[in-house]
Amino acid sequence: MRAMSSEPSRPAHRIARLLRLGASTPLVTAERLTLLALTSAGVVISLVLVIVSPADDLVSSIFQLALTAVFALFAWSPFLAVVMLLSAMCVSFAVANEGAAVVALAVAMGCVVRTGTRPLLVAFVGGFLLSGAAAATFAVPGLTLTNVAAALVVATVSGAVGYLLTVGSARERRLQESLRAQHLAEQEAAFAERQRIADELHDVIAHDLTVIAMYTRVLEQPIDEELREQSQQTIRDAAHKALGDLRRVVEQAKGPAVLAEAPRESLADALESARSELHGVGATLLLDGNAADPRVPRVIDAALARIARESITNVLKHGGREAVEITVRVTSGTVRMSVRSPLATKAARDVLPSGGYGIMRMTARAHQLGGELTVGSVHKAWVLEVQFPLV
C-alpha cells in the first residue's frame, strides 16, 4: 500500500524540482537595461566579425554571434539562458569552438549567480566544470590547461560580481519593504488620529450642541422669566464649553495630544451636569447608587462618565420628557450602570438627526476596558446597561 501511495507523488516531485530550477530572481530595471546594452554591443561586434570573416571561419563566427545573443535571455528567463548556454557548449565540440563556449560560460557565471536559484546555480556550475574537464581531457586543439584555469578565474570573478549585485539587490529590496511598511504605519497613525479627533468631537461637542438645540426649543415656548434666564445661561455655558472643547481638539491635532489633554470628567460631575440639563427641558434625573464610589478606578469612572453623557445626549434628542433613571451598583468585582428613559413619539424622535455613531462609540469604549454594553427598548423605555470588571 505504501508503494502504491508513493507513485502519484513522483511526477509532482519532478515538477516541483523543475519549477525550482525555473524560478529566478528578477533583475531591476537598471540591471536589465545594462545587460541588454552590453549584449546588443556584443551582438553588433559579432555581426561585424561574421561579415568580415573568411568563408572557412563563417560557421565559427555565426556560433559566436548566437552565443552572445543568448545572454539577453537572462533578462527574462535565466533557466532558458542556462539551457541554451550548456547546449551551445555541447554544440561547440562539433563546430570546433570550445574556447569561445567555455569563456561564455565563465562570463555567464555572474548572471546565473545574480538571477538564478540555488538549484539552477548548482546545475550550471556542474555543467561548466564538466565542460572544462571534457575539453581538457580530450585535448581540444587551442584549448590548454592554462586556458581552462583562466576560464575558472574569470568564472570566479564573474560569480563574485554577481554575488555582490545580489546582496545589493536584496538590501535595496529590504529597504523598499521597510519604507513601504513605514508608509503604511504612517497611514494607520494618521487614520487613528483622525478617528480620535472624530471621537472627541462626537463625545464632547455633540453633547453641547444638543443642549443648545434643545434649550433653544425651550425658549420658543411660553415660559416664566426665571426659566428663560436659566435657559439662556445654559445655552451660553454650552456654547463656551463647545468652543473650549473645539479649541482643545485643534490643539491636539497640531501637536502631542498629552500637552492638550483635558482632565477627565468624573461620573458624579457628569450626572450633576445632566441633572441640570434635563431639568431645563422638563425632565428629571433619578439616581440610585453612589456615583462617586472610591472603589471604581479613574479610567473606568471616566468611561462611565462618557457613556452617561452620551446617554443623556440621546435622551435630549429622542427621549420623552419624563424621569430618567440611572442606577449605579458597585460590587467587589464589577461596576454596573443602567440608564432608563421613556421612549418618545415619532415626532419627537425626528426633531434632531442621529447617525447611530454614539452607540457604536459607547460599545467600543466599553470593549476597550473589558466591559460589556447592551442597549434596546424594554416596555416602552430605552434602556442602556454597561458593566466593567474591577479586577
pLDDT tens digit string along 275-327? Answer: 887 877 778 889 999 998 888 888 888 889 888 888 888 787 766 567 889 99
Quick check: is 373 in a domain?
A: yes
Quick check: is 235 in a domain?
A: no
In the predicted model, what is the mean pLDDT of residues 345-354?
52
Question: Does 204 score more than 70 pLDDT?
Answer: no
Question: Does 13 score more than 70 pLDDT?
Answer: no
Q: Which residues contact 30 (CB under 8 A, 6 or more apart)?
A: none
Q: Which residues contact 333 (CB under 8 A, 6 or more apart)?
A: 389, 390, 391
Domain boundary among the residues 115, 143, 171 is at 143
**Contact at 8 Å (CB) between 124 and 109?**
yes
At 9 the pLDDT is 55
At 2 the pLDDT is 44
Euclidean distance between CA atoms 257 and 286, whole angstroms: 36
Distances in Å between the alpha carbon of 217 and those of 125, 210, 235, 348?
Answer: 89, 11, 11, 12
Euclidean distance between CA atoms 247 and 253, whole angstroms: 10
Quick check: is 72 in a domain?
A: yes
Domain boundary among the residues 110, 143, 176 is at 143
How many structural domains comprise the chain?
2
DSSP-assigned letters across all residues of 235-257? HHHHHHHHHHHHHHHHHHHHS-G
Quick check: is 128 in a domain?
A: yes
DSSP-assigned letters across all residues of 169-233? HHHHHHHHHHHHHHHHHHHHHHHHHHHHHHHHIIIIIHHHHHHHHHHHHHHTS---HHHHHHHHH
In the predicted model, what is the mean pLDDT of residues 212-236?
77
Question: Does 133 score more than 90 pLDDT?
Answer: no
Euclidean distance between CA atoms 57 and 110, whole angstroms: 29
Quick check: is 125 in a domain?
A: yes
Cβ neighbours, 10 Å, residue 319: 24
Euclidean distance between CA atoms 102 and 115, whole angstroms: 20
CATH number at residue 366: 3.30.565.10
At 339 the pLDDT is 92
Quick check: is 41 in a domain?
A: yes
In the predicted model, what is the mean pLDDT of residues 259-286?
76
Domain boundary among the residues 80, 114, 143 is at 143
pLDDT mean across residues, the chain:
78
The more confidently predicted of residues 202 and 278 is 278
Q: Is 177 exposed, middle or buried (0-12, 13-18, 19+ CB in 10 A)?
A: exposed
At 388 the pLDDT is 92
In the predicted model, what is the mean pLDDT of residues 12-38?
69
Euclidean distance between CA atoms 265 and 248, whole angstroms: 15
At 144 the pLDDT is 65
Question: Does 7 score more than 50 pLDDT?
Answer: no
pLDDT digits (tens, 9 = 90+) for 368-381: 888 899 988 887 78
The more confidently predicted of residues 341 and 200 is 341
Quick check: is 329 in a domain?
A: yes
Residue numbers of the domain that contains 304? 265-391
SS3 (DSSP) at 337: strand
pLDDT band (50, 70, 90) for residue 329:
very high
Question: Which DSSP letter does residue 343 get?
Answer: B
Quick check: is 385 in a domain?
A: yes
In the predicted model, what is the mean pLDDT of residues 119-136?
83
Euclidean distance between CA atoms 114 and 32, whole angstroms: 11
